[in-house]
Structure 1
């Protein structure tokens, strides 16, 4: 915890709007810890600054924290298209997105990204996968098909609280989904990949 606090005190501060969103997420939502938070949020913004994508695809909006962070890093004219499959999420998330300073850079869509994102007819330069762990492989294949060569995919939760190496979780469907995804990407010669042990595991993938 001391190290975590040290890191947070030596990076860019969390914008006040995002801090309020993070607090509201943890107060009002069942799985509030799923929100990216200060460190990962600043990393997402930094990666967008580095990659300079025109269009970003996000699978799994949740409370909107990560979408706002990525939108912060976009150049003028850039757009985040973020999909949330749980329509019960909309009443909480949509006002936070629409009232944010980067609202014009975010398209919030309720629906299954696996079937709906291809219908947009958009080629993406970057994607953030943070949806249903049980369908990570299917989501990955969909995203890869829409990604420009040289584009990047970020996949969240790929260490899954360490459960990926714990036999006690062999029968857990979400753990199985993450393991299947990690194995699939590791063997995929269409991409370059590296896993960062940040928070719950973040895999960076580059399409060749």
Structure 2
């Protein structure tokens, strides 16, 4: 797959990476060996910076996978803060619960099992931060649900908005055409939404940041 950055640029940035958390390293290795998509390290670092800056008390994650970004967010939350994370895959839920137990952060993490379209309408909280990293075909509808759950002044973070670079390319492999069209349509909606001040940053696979202003 094409990368957003060229190899020399990526190699240069990689030298600054520091990761001393054994569990995080194990999860990265497991994800790579089993072809499980998780947030790349640069996007993860930036997401952590947003958590440190905004100090959210209530976070919602849509798409737990194995709990990688869940744990990276949870370990930076202040006392009495929490993250709700939604996952529909039974296999992923089992892995995520195991990793959450190992992280010793279970008191900050609520794993909500089920389809996000079933879970989100039942949530009654207002969130300070929402992180969306789910099926690309569902981004548009999941975003509309997120708008209702995010407080004014809250932050929404959305991964994969450049989608391996295909969102900005005229040549898209057949297996990515449908998902790319969904991403391109969603980007128009996201960037033009009147309730948000939004930007798409060329970090990782394209990270969308939106602040709810209305």
TM-score when normalising by structure 1: 0.91
Match 2:159 to one of 153, 156, 159: 156
- The answer for unaligned runs of 5 or more in structure 1 is none
SS at match of 1:176: helix
2:194 corresponds in structure 1 to 189
8 Å Cα contact 1:160-1:175 kept in structure 2: yes
Match 1:49 to one of 47, 52, 58: 52
State the Cα RMSD in Å.
Answer: 1.8
Partners of 2:170 and 2:56 in 1: CA distance: 39
1:51-90 paired onto structure 2 within 5 Å: 51-90=54-93
User: Comparing both chains, which one has the higher relative contact order based on Cα–Cα distances under 8 Å and sequence gaps of 6 or more?
Assistant: 2
In proportion to residue count, which structure has more helix? 1
8 Å Cα contact 2:61-2:131 kept in structure 1: yes
Deviation of 1:21 after TM superposition, in Å, equals 1.0
- The answer for unaligned runs of 5 or more in structure 2 is 1-6
Cα displacement string for residues 7-63 of structure 1 (whole angstroms, at most 9, x for unaligned residues) = 344355342210111111222x2x33x212432222222110111111111111112
Partners of 1:63 and 1:72 in 2: CA distance: 16
The count of corresponding residues between Structure 1 and Structure 2 is 205
1:133 corresponds in structure 2 to 136
TM-score when normalising by structure 2: 0.88
2:112 corresponds in structure 1 to 109
